[in-house]
A and B are shown apart, each in its own frame.
Chain A
Amino acid sequence: MRARVLIRPKAGILDPQGEAVQRALPALGFAGVSDVRVGRLVELDVEDPGQLESMCEKLLANPLVEDYEVVLEGSSGGG
Chain B
Amino acid sequence: MRFGVLQFPGSCDDLDALAAARRVGEAELIWHARRDLGGAEAIVVPGGFSYGDYLRAGAIARFAPAMEAVIEFARAGGLVLGICNGFQVLCEARLLPGALLGNVNLRFTSRQVRLEVLDTGTAFTGACTPGASLSIPAKHSWGRYYADEPTLDALEARGQVLLRYAPGENFNGSLRDIAGVRNERGNVFGLMPHPEHAVDELLGGSADGLRIFESMRLAAEGALA
Residues of A within 8 A of B (CB): 9, 13-14, 16-17, 20, 59-60, 62, 64-65
Residues of B within 8 A of A (CB): 55-56, 59-60, 63, 92, 98-99, 101-106, 144, 146-147, 173
CA of A20 to CA of B106, assembled, Å: 9
- Number of contacts between A and B (CB, 8 Å)? 32
CB distance from A21 to the nearest CB of B (A): 11
Contacts of A9 in B (CB 8 A): 101
Contacts of B144 in A (CB 8 A): 14
Q: List 11 A-B contacts (CB under 8 A).
A: A13-B146, A14-B101, A14-B104, A17-B106, A20-B106, A59-B55, A59-B60, A60-B55, A64-B98, A64-B146, A65-B146
Interchain CB contact (< 8 A) of A59 among B59, B98, B102: B59
Most buried by A among B56, B106, B173: B56
Chain A residue, CB-CB nearest to B59: A59
| Interface pair B99/A65, CB less than 8 Å apart | yes
Chain B residue, CB-CB nearest to A42: B55
Interchain CB contact (< 8 A) of B102 among A16, A62, A64: A16
What 6 additional pairs, Cβ within 8 angstroms, besides A14-B173, A64-B99? A13-B146, A14-B104, A16-B104, A16-B106, A59-B59, A65-B101
